[in-house]
Amino acid sequence: MPNYWFNFLHCGSYGRSRLSSEVTSLRNLYNARKCMQNRYRVSTPRQQTPAQLGSRSCNPLQSVFGKEFLQVHSPLQPLRLVLPNLPENMDFATLAAQLNAGTILPEGIVILTLLVVLVGDLIVGRSSSGWTPYAAVAGLLAAVAALCLQWDNVDTISFLGGFNSDALSLVFRAIIALTAAVTILISVRYVLQTGTALAEFIGILLTATLGGMFLSGADELVMIFISLETLSISSYLLTGYTKRDPRSNEAALKYLLIGASSSAVFLYGISLLYGLSGGETKLSAIAANLSSVNEGQSLGLVIALVFAIAGIAFKISAVPFHQWTPDVYEGSPTPVVAFLSVGSKAAGFALAIRLLTTAFPALTEQWHFVFTALAILSMVLGNVVALAQTSMKRLLAYSSIAQAGFVMLGLIAGTEAGYSSMIFYLLVYLFMNLGAFACIILFSLRTGTDQISEYSGLYQKDPLLTLALSICLLSLGGRPPITEKFGKIYLFWAGWQAGLYGLVILGLVTSVVSIYYYIRVVKMMVVKEPQEMSDAVKNYPEVRWNLQGMRPLQVSVVLTLVATTLAGILSNPLFNLANDAITKTPMLQSALIHVQPVVGAKIDSNLVSRRD
């Protein structure tokens, strides 16, 4: 308590009512009303002089309220309101050591970048669009570098167990940060052409990135929900950012309504989890309490599991929680769709791994069964419905639904090879999917359309765009020697080892189906004769890279093209990274279902080595 409050109470004349309000507001957690009635009424007159107070005690507050009053107002008292588990006798040095705030250095760099972008735009104005994108990309790359420096960090628990910066979270946070960096590069020209503010777009995107990064390492229920809502609300704002476009407004409204419902369902699920565990919020403590009170198989826990899976399935666009995906993808600004298809999906899978393996170990068979059904529906519906699409954005929307079904194979396997295959698949999916969206943005900026039929004969006018889009689409289809082939092989191998024979066979069949709608676009761009060109290609403008915002788009197209190609040829480092991320994560090592996981990883790495 500041000194002027002591002087004020010591020297001033305080009435009963005024002192009652002060005490009640300051000491409601320490039974202030009882203390006031027992001590103030008996021994304290209505008005006292400083001499009278001084004669009773060396400290007037102790004479009125007792010795424990001063202990309430320690410097750490405000922190105890948000950290109830904080020990009583703790100084700032011990607190700083236990908070271990250095683990969120990458997020701190992103926050600093966000402030630089917003303040710079506030000072400079619209002319800041010339440097704010590059500052944001530099900040995100610095955050990725900080994540790399933490790879061998042993002390990963921070904020009294609320955040875990283990190897698994490092990889997912790096995926989200890289996704945001590429998204900023491909969005500069698009946002400028729509006439909206670029710095505000980047600011909201960085906020969504922060939410996804915190969600990837959140190890406590409150932290999980706040991170999830930060990501979700920022995504709603990005979806409706082009407010003059009716399709964007419609997409934002649909996304908001369905997203709010899914958030409510997810919150109800984790609130049940909180109640059943006896008021615990840490995931490990929840699992321990549930096992100790024999609540592991209760009906309430099953309901909590179903509701939590519903919220996760919405975030990863799994059927039947996919209704928002096609409409939002078609109506939203294309750079926003690119971020949602990779960054939001990666954050959802990170949440699924951490929440399900840590808080629901007693219901492993149950959530495996639920995700098996989701994977089957996603692979079948996503690939089959994509055959009938006429818009490139809707085609990639259903493609992302199918890709989520493939990634769920690794989660259902529950082995070391399964989790490693998930990480490897998302790493390569990052480059190929963002590359495809970069090509779509470039084509729509030059023609004003995203209809598949308008791509007819594009090779005659823009060979670079045709090459980049063809390789990215063939990658998504899994054609050799492209990266996606080895990603799917790794997933199918892990599933086969875990005994998921039916799912693996279904995945192979649906992968063949997906090849058709990808090759259809490639055939239309390359094989069409000059006289069969579409009207958009016939009127295709001259390729000019010197326009503002076009150079970052060109760099992103070339960068994703090179990364996709090299990742398919030199995939051994990515395999090793994915395997190391699992072996260095204690949470997964304690939850693994040992169905020869190490053999699967070694065999797959040997296959890659022989191919190289």
DSSP code per residue over 84-148: TT--SS--HHHHHHHHTGGGGHHHHHHHHHHHHHHHHHHHH-GGGGGTHHHHHHHHHHHHHHHHH
Q: List the structure tokens of 538.
A: 């016939």
3-class state of residue 451 by DSSP:
strand
Q: List the structure tokens of 131.
A: 């440097």
Asked, for residue 525, whether it belongs to a domain, the answer is yes
Asked, for residue 9, whether it belongs to a domain, the answer is yes
> What's the predicted TM-score (pTM) here?
0.83
- CA angle, corner 260, sides to 259 and 262, nearest 5? 65
Asked, for residue 125, whether it belongs to a domain, the answer is no
Q: What is the mean pLDDT of each run of 10 residues along the chain (612 residues)?
A: 43 45 47 46 44 44 43 52 58 70 93 95 86 95 95 86 91 96 94 90 96 94 95 95 90 93 94 90 89 71 93 92 91 94 94 93 90 95 92 93 93 91 92 93 90 89 90 80 68 91 93 91 82 84 80 90 82 88 87 46 41 42
Please state, in angstroms and rounded to a whole number, the distance separating the CA atoms of residues 88 and 90: 6
Asked, for residue 197, whether it belongs to a domain, the answer is no
Asked, for residue 403, whether it belongs to a domain, the answer is yes
Taking a C-beta distance cutoff of 8 angstroms, is the pair 415, 600 a contact? yes
Residue given tokens 């001084």 in the structure block: 54
Among candidate residues 566, 584, 606, the one where a domain is terminated: 566
Asked, for residue 200, whether it belongs to a domain, the answer is no
3-class state of residue 450 by DSSP:
coil
Asked, for residue 462, whether it belongs to a domain, the answer is yes
Asked, for residue 45, whether it belongs to a domain, the answer is yes
pLDDT of residue 188: 93
pLDDT of residue 544: 79
Taking a C-beta distance cutoff of 8 angstroms, is the pair 526, 466 a contact? yes
Please state, in angstroms and rounded to a whole number, the distance separating the CA atoms of residues 514 and 516: 5
257-264, Cβ contacts within 8 angstroms, sequence gap of 24 or more: 258/314, 258/323, 258/324, 259/232, 259/235, 259/314, 259/324, 262/310, 262/311, 262/314, 262/315, 262/321, 263/228, 263/229, 263/232, 263/311
Please state, in angstroms and rounded to a whole number, the distance separating the CA atoms of residues 236 and 225: 16
* Number of DSSP helices (H) and strands (E) in the chain, helices first: 31, 2
pLDDT of residue 586: 86
Please state, in angstroms and rounded to a whole number, the distance separating the CA atoms of residues 388 and 385: 6
Task: Tell me the residue range of the domain where 561 lies.
Answer: 360-566
Q: What are the tens digits of pLDDT across the range 152-175?
A: 888 888 888 889 999 999 999 999
pLDDT of residue 147: 95
Helix (H) or strand (E) holding 158: strand 157-158
Structural domain total, the chain: 2
Please state, in angstroms and rounded to a whole number, the distance separating the CA atoms of residues 293 and 362: 13
Q: What are the tens digits of pLDDT across the range 498-515?
A: 999 999 999 999 999 998
Please state, in angstroms and rounded to a whole number, the distance separating the CA atoms of residues 551 and 555: 6
Q: Pick the closest to residue 346 from 398, 399, 424 (CA basis).
A: 424
pLDDT of residue 83: 57
pLDDT of residue 219: 92
pLDDT of residue 102: 87
